[in-house]
Structure 1
């Protein structure tokens, strides 16, 4: 088997194709504007939309990712509008109506410093989107987009979410989607199927990660609730149908994550006060949310004045039963735990760190691929809607990129491996997924090494992997599909060796 030629940069090919299309359609204001918009998108932060059914915890998780309360979490009018959150020098909210000019809204903070968004009497159905600038390091590389609930009771809100995420024919405005679900219901599967990219990556879930949100509620607030949720997420990850619709599934307790990242001193002191109460009393309180706020007199009498009903209600709203129980357990295990240590422990237990790692490996590291995907779809749409003399050549170039770019070949193989359409042993399938970037695109991660492994260790591992997969590719026992799949892995190994030996 001959070595693969040096890889061409997919992002450069997509940019070049956009510029060629701009030259071809320079006399069409609509087409040229559309293409220029997608060329500009290459230099913008990654666009990550957060989607899911009503009450899936979208805004709560967005706030947890940012580390501040900037998205409305109640059922108010703002949750019925697509809202973009980007890093900016100062807080600013702009309303973009469906008709008319954008206008800036008043910016104000709530009691605890969070952003309050008020449509100022504008009916939500007349709003195209809100854009919110907020100074945040968490928004510098990724713009977050909060969407109305899928399958919303309000048909208009659900329609706006569908229109934004899965527009007819045109590529969506988001580069990637974080889809939240409490369990896998029929509506969730239908949405994932509708968002599934059947063309660019030939049926690969390159741009979707699913989150088993509100994971603490699965175990009815028990201390082992998140363990149960993680087992369910693992089962979903290996489900043959779901694995073809999203990259992976992660369990996250969004409320716990948000409160951990924004824990206040008064909340910490209230939790310390509860932790000092006899365990039998607090266990009696935590039998239900109602009982925690309005306990029977026998339990209420055992509580200090510092944790009265109003304080307990506030703790319940911020932490839920699971979060309160977890906090008390942590404080009792180590009475010297301060507010910062408690906050860090809550975040660690919430699953947020795992989700952020997944977003980094599946989306941030694949930024150029996701941007190129959007760009190629944009050019394809123009070519299809406004055919002209140069359209056939552009369409041919698009197909060449789809068929020839190794990044897309890797994605097609990932889909085939996860849907079990390629015959490999479980061990070989797991290694193949990793080598083509299923666990992340960094070389050390692909090779199964520590992420900080040096180039020498990576070269040794890459040479060993290349030898194994060349043998599989040339084995007379391999059918054509398996040999082709092994060939893709071989090219991935060769590409890693090239990158490791390049100056």
Structure 2
């Protein structure tokens, strides 16, 4: 039985017990319905973190609605942080405007959430500012993101740490022909003249106050510098420059991380939300005839291999666990390259051979305890693959 099927069954049993409680009944029915709905993904962060900009960057268009459903290819409901609906989200993209920002909101209150910290990606949302707007700012920001992912403050709190320049991502996705023409024109100027204008916002605006102010509002000075650099490298069409801006923004890294960490694992994350909701009802309205449901909920959570896989994938991604040359195979077997059997076995070939190999790693005294425990989790994933092919 899959995790979401187990969650559905537990909610069914709870609905029978709490049918005389309108509040509990409505709450449980809503969460049961969400098991069959889109993954709910909230973009949250402090007021200066660029939440609405990041929401538009993920979608690839300027949006004005407070929540919308998009195809990922799986269905995802993106929730505007200003509505406070993130409380009901299955997963969260948490924006940090600067490294070292307050992480208190990343620490979950619910005991199930604390035990399964698998639903958050942290984004350094003003990545261009980390490098003072230099052309190589995103390179520096990615290095900062990797260091933060291994930091004690974030260990166990998130699945990944990604650096993104949100304004540049939106500007690249929606770059107009006129905006490209401005970048192209500046890119053709003598380099000393253009470089002098790009030293500061004030100097750039002074060249053409109305047009350059509008361009800065759309791309920022970092984006303008990137765009002009692309033109100088011989990219002389709007689509080419737009693609280069998007690539430079880091938004592709975030989309890929959302896909691997959340969308591919949507059933498990929805089940986690449903079981958290059930646990709340069981604790707030305890009843003798709900005792067996509580015990079965605890048993399902304790045996939820999906959660172990997600925690281990985060440890591999951030370097907290390492298998050297076997890391790619480990990631694939855990479902990090897709959760279907063929994707899991893409680096291994035969499921039974993989099982024997990873059982061997789990018992290898040359490996550290952390790696042996991790190998045992991978071996359990291999067991499921062997069982799937046996049937």
**Same structural fold, with TM-score higher than 0.5 when normalized by the shorter chain:** yes
State the TM-score, normalized to the length of structure 2.
Answer: 0.89
1:286-325 aligned at under 5 Å gives the runs 286-294=198-206, 300=207, 308-325=208-225
Going from structure 1 to structure 2, the CA distance change for 1:332 and 1:418 (only over 3 Å counts) comes to closer
More helix by proportion, 1 or 2?
Answer: 2
Q: 1:86 aligns with which of 61, 68, 77?
A: 68
Q: 1:212 aligns with which of 117, 124, 127?
A: 124
Whole-angstrom distance in 1 between the partners of 2:245 and 2:95: 20
Secondary structure at 1:390 match in 2: helix
Secondary structure at 1:221 match in 2: coil
1:143 aligns with 2:42: no
1:246-395 aligned at under 5 Å gives the runs 246-294=158-206, 300=207, 308-335=208-235, 337-395=236-294
Deviations 1:393-418 (A, max 9, x none): 11011011101222133345567879
User: Which residue matches 1:32?
Assistant: 25
Contact (CA 8 Å) 1:244, 1:418: kept in 2 or not?
no
Q: 1:174 aligns with which of 70, 86, 89?
A: 89
1:10-25 aligned at under 5 Å gives the runs 10-25=3-18
Going from structure 1 to structure 2, the CA distance change for 1:414 and 1:147 (only over 3 Å counts) comes to same
User: Which residue matches 2:112?
Assistant: 199
Which has the larger Rg?
A: 1
Whole-angstrom distance in 2 between the partners of 1:476 and 1:330: 52
CA offset at residue 22 of structure 1?
A: 0.8
Secondary structure at 1:180 match in 2: strand
Going from structure 1 to structure 2, the CA distance change for 1:281 and 1:445 (only over 3 Å counts) comes to farther
Q: Name structure 1 gaps, 5 residues minimum.
A: 1-7, 72-82, 88-135, 149-159, 166-171, 295-299, 301-307, 450-457
Whole-angstrom distance in 2 between the partners of 1:346 and 1:191: 32
Alpha carbon RMSD of aligned pairs, Å?
A: 3.0
CA offset at residue 276 of structure 1?
A: 1.9
Whole-angstrom distance in 1 between the partners of 2:317 and 2:71: 35
Higher alpha-carbon deviation: 428-437 or 242-251? 428-437
Going from structure 1 to structure 2, the CA distance change for 1:13 and 1:140 (only over 3 Å counts) comes to closer
Contact (CA 8 Å) 2:159, 2:311: kept in 1 or not?
no
Whole-angstrom distance in 1 between the partners of 2:356 and 2:205: 64
CA offset at residue 145 of structure 1?
A: 1.4
State the TM-score, normalized to the length of structure 1.
Answer: 0.70
Going from structure 1 to structure 2, the CA distance change for 1:388 and 1:351 (only over 3 Å counts) comes to same
Whole-angstrom distance in 1 between the partners of 2:136 and 2:357: 41
1:459 aligns with 2:349: yes
CA offset at residue 66 of structure 1?
A: 1.7
User: Which residue matches 2:50?
Assistant: 57
Secondary structure at 1:459 match in 2: coil
Q: Name structure 2 gaps, 5 residues minimum.
A: none
